[in-house]
A and B are shown apart, each in its own frame.
Chain A
């Protein structure tokens, strides 16, 4: 190990400080690195991605960047797409859904919330109920896929009650598949799975599937979606 004597203090400390910043998810201080130091910084950055979930973006970030891109598109003429159309259209919801985020307006308990999205999208939105299935057609205790506008979901029937949950995996945004043999929802992308209550089963850092607002009306199962 004699060839592993520590180098002079300064470079080692700069690398140590860099590692500390990474481990606290802070922006590391900039400095002109020696080539040898740069290699250590690179490998440290790479190793940081090992922590489960560390490399998944915050939903606030995704929303804010979308709003920023919408402004940029609007200023540039955006190929004839208005800002309002971008923010109020179903495409925004589709984008949010694909990323497994930004479902506020479709989620349970959001009835009283002001219709203001995070990240600067301020267009008010209306919502409407969309019939997605007949109650009588849903098998009891099973999950049935539905699409309604930009919403991709599952209906889970328990007796006369029906729950609606998002069908978008909270890991990478893949659409889940119902696995009837195991009674769970499986992700085709990375082997995540969820119970029919939406709780993650096997990957500790996954969040639960968002619940959608639903009701049974005159034998029809309805889900609330953005207008």
Chain B
């Protein structure tokens, strides 16, 4: 389908994207930040994709298109929080009351979708060296327990024990932040 000679010349004054239809403009502007927001709270792709889908399927038909962008984002992230709370309750029996931090880090402003990543980094920084090292190798570098053990001169079993303690400590630190 190679096009022939230019069929239309666009002069500078005529350029510019056509008005996107309502929901598509909303979707394009928010799908990545909503996904990242969800991912930072479930930590795996299948759940992140499933829950992001739920957020948009649920929220888009109810949006008042043409509302201020902040209002639309607010509604989407509120929906995301609801979907996440349902997920944790249904999948892990973790009651909503046990998830207080969502209020603390609220809907990210437009240029700040990385708040979750920064927070995770801050948690790591407050851990004792040995704990931090294990979590870095595992979560940041994707090392297996065996590789983690080899890097630290300990057994895989030991690495697993330290990982577990490190997570427990990280959970304490996270609660205090």
Contacts and interface: CB of A to CB of B under 8 A. Distances in A.
Interface string A13-39: 001100101110111101111010111
Contact of B46 (A26, A89, A190, A217): A26
Contacts of A98: 28-29
Contacts of A129: 3, 5-7
Interface string A40-60: 111111111111001111100
B167 A15 contact: yes
B106 interface: no
B21 A50 contact: no
| Interface band, chain A | 35 or more
A149 B18 contact: yes
Interface residues of B, number: 82
Interface in B86-116: 88, 90-94, 98-99, 101, 111, 113-114, 116
A144 interface: no
B77 interface: no
A161 interface: no
A138 interface: no
Contacts of B31: 57, 62, 65-66, 99
A126 interface: yes
Contact of B1 (A4, A32, A127, A189): A127
A95 B25 contact: yes
A68 B57 contact: yes
Interface of A: 4, 6, 12, 15-16, 19, 21-23, 25-28, 30-33, 35, 37-51, 54-58, 61-62, 65-66, 68-69, 72-73, 76, 78-79, 81, 85-86, 89-92, 94-99, 111, 115, 126-132, 147-150, 172-173, 189-190, 217, 220, 222, 224
